[in-house]
Structure 1
Amino acid sequence: MTRVVLLGPPPGPDTSPTGLRLAALPGSPTVTERLRSQVTSMDPRPATIESGDVAAALRALADVAESATESLFIIPENSVVHDELIYQITKTKRGALALVAKEPRVGVSEEDQDDTEHEEPEPAQEERVPIDEAEPEIGRGRVEGLPVRARIGKSSRIVSVGTAHHGVTRPNAVLLGPLHISARNAPVLAETCRELAAMADLFGDDDDLVQLIVFGLVRNGVSVGLRGRRDLFYRRVTTQEEVNEAGPEMAGMDEDRSRLNYAVKGADGFFTTYFVSTYSRFIARWAARRGLTPNQVTLISIALGVAAAACFATGDRPWMVLGGVLIYFAFVFDCVDGQVARYARKFGVLGAWLDATFDRFKEYVVFAGLAIGWVVSGNSEDIWILALAALGLQSVRHLLDFSFGISNRRKPPAKLPTVPLDAPDDRELRQLLVRRKVERSQGVRGVLKMWTKAGRFRAVHWARKMIVFPIGERFAAIAITAAFFDARITFLTLVIWGSVAAVYTLTGRLMRSLV
């Protein structure tokens, strides 16, 4: 569950969302009614905090954070937002995540403005002074009525935030409103809010409450990740005219397409990305709309895997080709079951267990089928040595993957520098970040960082994906070598490529364990 906190606007006829109606939506709900209905599934009784008195609002938020045992989702009450955007923000694995928008620039599309995963070039006039030499400033620009007082860069997190009293070096973004805080950061949020409340007299009338919260979190060492709206809708509204514009604009955006795209893992391998996920998502949507569950799709994948093994066991070329086709589609449906789960929001412990367990089962039963087919074709039984080698190697790799994942989750997140909240600007924070960057660029950390940076090149990115021999590449290797060659070639491919992958992966994990 997630604890929801609604930030109410200051009193006033034009800023109260209780009377602003979304006439473009069925039932013409008010902005508040719609938002409350959207968050009910997460929190049936969301906390509401009036933001008119900043100090009182911060103390009230601190009380909520202190009593929270789950993550917090903070959002202004006058927000018009897609359900899917709320879902994606609250399902983040980041300790903190904020929705941001970059300051508009001439010649850059709105879609690119919202793509905040990578640094974009600054406007030409700002490049007259390098950012390392730029002076902190009080952001005076505004985007969608919000002050431009945040700095974001290529680290996929918010670098610094300012206020009407605190300067920030070259601000380039606004904090739109939605903010997700993990349970582990809730105590820091509570402490931060109390510190901010004690210095509320320093803030200006145009300082937004969410902006102040993130300002405090960043200075207290919390890594606040960022994301843009991308192909989803979010806007704060204060007048009926703005509501009338927001309703049709939101309705005109394809929320279902975004939901479908989000159902596909963003970090899949080369084969999965280009030869499966390009169309498997549409199979997933078709299956979900007809009531098929992820577990039922998993059973289809298992059945196809067993059928492929049976075809391989014949040893005859036509059946070997058919087996290659079947094992390919067994993998397709292995992807589809997860996509159905994410698209239909149907998750369960049984499903996760089935998926992980029977992925291995399909591989190993296919190994047996290939070895049997080789023997019944009149060849040597020595093939079983290769089959056992492939099985043993893959089993060890899965064991290492599992154990490293468990250990890595126990590792506390790296701490960021902290600076006093009353520091007049972000000079000290930026200096500490530069020092941290230099320290992390030395020794083993430096090698890992250099290898990470190399991944920005497309060829290197996909080479790194393929060298680890993920499940997509393994199933593709089995399908192709079995259909066009023989079981011996299949097992040699699995053992050789798998060994290279094991050495590469183990080396990387040993290095990461040392830092």
Structure 2
Amino acid sequence: MTRVVLLGASPGPENSPTGLRLAALPGNPTVAERLRGQLTSLDPRLATIESGDVATALRALADVAEATTESLFIIPENSLIHDELIYQITKAKRGALALVAKEPRPEVTEEEQDAQEDVVPIDEAEPEIGLNRLEGLPVRSRVGKSRVVSVGTASHAVTRPNAVLLGPLHVSARNAPMLAQTCRELAAMADKFGEDDDLVQLIVFGLVRNGVSVGLRGRRDLFYRRVTTQEEVNEAGAEMAGMNEDRARLNNAVKGADGFFTTYFVSTYSRFIARWAARRGLTPNQVTLISIALGVAAAACFATGDRPWMVLGGVLIYFAFVFDCVDGQVARYARKFGVLGAWLDATFDRFKEYVVFAGLAVGWVVSGNSDDIWILALAAIGLQSVRHLLDFSFGVANRRKPPSPLPTLALDAPDDRALRQALTRRKVERSQGLRGVLKMWTKAGKFRAVHWARKMIVFPIGERFAAIAITAALFDARITFLTLVIWGSVAAAYTLTGRLMRSLV
């Protein structure tokens, strides 16, 4: 469950009316009514905090955070937002996540570019009070590639601000106590904040200075905007209606970190199968059963040892993998998750592989070849079993590892200079020894060839099923097993080396 906190009018001269109506929607609901309707599935007992008085609002939020054992989703009441964006933010695994918009870079002439060569590097830049505005909010946040680096206020300077915090903020249950503490500390110094300081911005200001890593989420292909006038409501409503939320939801149903084969030869169309299946009421478990059936049928074809059937087996094992991807995509698109489904998916992925291994070995023997093939089959099964054991054990151990603490800064410090210096020192420390090697290898991933090479070398399930399908259809079982054992051994060595290094840092 998620505890939802609705913030009333943000502090400042532009108080957000709650009577603005969305004429284009059935029932002509107000902005606040629509948002409440969207959030009741998350939390039927929404907490509402009037944010006109900053200190009172912060103390009220602290009370909510102290009383909950759940994650918190904080959002201004005058928000127009897609359902899918709410879902994406609240399901994030980050300890804290904020929706941000970066200030667009101005287009400059050649003369201005030449003049910018004299611009002071950010490491030497002086902190400033952000005066620019973006979507009605002061630009007082500095964000990096993955998290909020620093936040300022009307009396707290920030080094080269480049973004605004739009409003939605998700804080995990483990960070709820820190949220409560931060809100009480901020309430005690409310007189230092200005009329244009946004409440969400103040909350993130405190969290970042107290060492909480606040991740970033952009709007991408989804919609979010705060509205304060009927004209803004009409404009935002038209813009939101012109965006294809269902297509965005479908795209988000596909894993973003899949392997090369899955990305280019499966996910390009499997998402549409997933949508078709979901709209016809098929559950993820039913799709999993289809995948299992195709895998068993492929094994039966391989067991004949005849070339036409081997080719058919290669086609069937490919589509068994396609439906293995589809079941997860159906679950994410239809938002139907369950313990049984997760268990079935993980268990029968291995079942399909091992049944296919057996089918290949049987087919080799019935074709009049030596039964020594079983040695290769058992080697492939053993190697894959050990790899999965290592993957599982490392995942469990890694989840138990506490996150590396971030530098902190007193809330009453007038600027973020000391915080940025501490972050610089931390960066230098993490660039030495094994950490430096791992960081350099991570940075190499920005090159597309290296990125996909790293994806393929670990021999993920997509590449394994592709290797089985291609080698079995074009060659024979011995070539298939040799490919699996050799590539699998390289993948195991690479993975084990990386995980040993990560365990030592």
Normalising by the smaller structure, the TM-score range is over 0.9
- Residue 459 of structure 2 aligns with which residue? 469
**In structure 2, distance between residues paired with 1:159 and 1:126:** 24
**In structure 2, distance between residues paired with 1:483 and 1:499:** 23
Q: How does 1:102-141 map to 2 (within 5 A)?
A: 102-107=102-107, 125=116, 128-141=119-132
**In structure 2, distance between residues paired with 1:413 and 1:205:** 36
Residue number among 131, 135, 139 corresponding to 1:148 in the alignment: 139
How far the C-alpha of 1:125 sits from its partner, in A, is 4.3
- Residue 165 of structure 2 aligns with which residue? 175
Amino acid at match of 1:185: N
1:255 equivalenced with 2:263 (yes/no): no
- Residue 382 of structure 1 aligns with which residue? 372
Q: Is the 8 A contact 2:54 2:187 kept in 1?
A: yes
**In structure 1, distance between residues paired with 2:199 and 2:12:** 17
1:443 equivalenced with 2:433 (yes/no): yes
Q: Give aligned-pair identity as a percent.
A: 89
Q: Is the 8 A contact 1:324 1:482 kept in 2?
A: yes
Residue number among 393, 418, 442 corresponding to 1:452 in the alignment: 442
How far the C-alpha of 1:160 sits from its partner, in A, is 0.3
Residue number among 275, 279, 286 corresponding to 1:289 in the alignment: 279
Q: Is the 8 A contact 1:73 1:179 kept in 2?
A: yes
How far the C-alpha of 1:107 sits from its partner, in A, is 4.6
How far the C-alpha of 1:17 sits from its partner, in A, is 3.7
1:269 equivalenced with 2:259 (yes/no): yes
**In structure 2, distance between residues paired with 1:14 and 1:196:** 22
How far the C-alpha of 1:27 sits from its partner, in A, is 1.6
**In structure 2, distance between residues paired with 1:389 and 1:124:** 65
**In structure 2, distance between residues paired with 1:123 and 1:407:** 52
Q: Deviations over 1:284-336 (max 9, x none)?
A: 00000000000000000000000000000000000000000000000000000
Structure 2 spans left out of the alignment, 5+ residues? none
- Residue 418 of structure 1 aligns with which residue? 408
How far the C-alpha of 1:15 sits from its partner, in A, is 3.6
How far the C-alpha of 1:39 sits from its partner, in A, is 0.5
Q: Deviations over 1:377-408 (max 9, x none)?
A: 00000000000000000000001101111111
Q: Deviations over 1:43-93 (max 9, x none)?
A: 001100011000000010001011110100000000000000000000001
Q: How does 1:56-71 map to 2 (within 5 A)?
A: 56-71=56-71
Change (3 A) 1:144 1:482: same
Residue number among 443, 465, 468 corresponding to 1:478 in the alignment: 468
Count of aligned positions: 501
Amino acid at match of 1:232: L
1:27 equivalenced with 2:27 (yes/no): yes
Residue number among 176, 185, 210 corresponding to 2:175 in the alignment: 185
Secondary structure of 2:446's partner? coil
- Residue 94 of structure 2 aligns with which residue? 94
Moved more, 9-18 or 171-180: 9-18
**In structure 2, distance between residues paired with 1:348 and 1:5:** 27
Change (3 A) 1:443 1:407: same
- Residue 41 of structure 1 aligns with which residue? 41
**In structure 2, distance between residues paired with 1:123 and 1:59:** 50
Amino acid at match of 1:33: E
TM-score, normalised by the number of residues in structure 1: 0.96
Q: How does 1:361-380 map to 2 (within 5 A)?
A: 361-380=351-370
Q: Is the 8 A contact 2:10 2:199 kept in 1?
A: no
**In structure 1, distance between residues paired with 2:264 and 2:47:** 45
Secondary structure of 1:171's partner? coil
Secondary structure of 1:128's partner? coil
**In structure 1, distance between residues paired with 2:134 and 2:117:** 18
1:211 equivalenced with 2:211 (yes/no): no
- Residue 55 of structure 1 aligns with which residue? 55
**In structure 1, distance between residues paired with 2:459 and 2:155:** 53
How far the C-alpha of 1:126 sits from its partner, in A, is 8.8
How far the C-alpha of 1:142 sits from its partner, in A, is 0.3
Secondary structure of 1:99's partner? strand
Amino acid at match of 2:191: D
Change (3 A) 1:449 1:235: same
Amino acid at match of 2:121: P
How far the C-alpha of 1:153 sits from its partner, in A, is 1.8
Change (3 A) 1:127 1:465: farther
Structure 1 spans left out of the alignment, 5+ residues? 109-121
Change (3 A) 1:12 1:410: closer
Q: Deviations over 1:400-434 (max 9, x none)?
A: 10111111111111110001000000000000000
Secondary structure of 1:163's partner? coil
**In structure 2, distance between residues paired with 1:127 and 1:403:** 52
- Residue 7 of structure 1 aligns with which residue? 7
**In structure 2, distance between residues paired with 1:143 and 1:123:** 27
Amino acid at match of 2:45: R
Change (3 A) 1:125 1:144: farther
**In structure 2, distance between residues paired with 1:425 and 1:12:** 22
Q: Is the 8 A contact 2:158 2:415 kept in 1?
A: yes
Change (3 A) 1:10 1:173: closer
**In structure 1, distance between residues paired with 2:68 and 2:457:** 43
Amino acid at match of 2:324: D
Q: Deviations over 1:160-200 (max 9, x none)?
A: 00000000000010000000000000000000001100000
How far the C-alpha of 1:236 sits from its partner, in A, is 0.4
- Residue 349 of structure 1 aligns with which residue? 339
Q: Is the 8 A contact 1:25 1:247 kept in 2?
A: no
**In structure 2, distance between residues paired with 1:325 and 1:319:** 10
**In structure 2, distance between residues paired with 1:339 and 1:107:** 40
How far the C-alpha of 1:32 sits from its partner, in A, is 0.5
1:395 equivalenced with 2:373 (yes/no): no
Amino acid at match of 1:336: V
How far the C-alpha of 1:14 sits from its partner, in A, is 7.1
How far the C-alpha of 1:18 sits from its partner, in A, is 2.5
Q: Deviations over 1:465-486 (max 9, x none)?
A: 0000000000000000000000
How far the C-alpha of 1:105 sits from its partner, in A, is 2.5
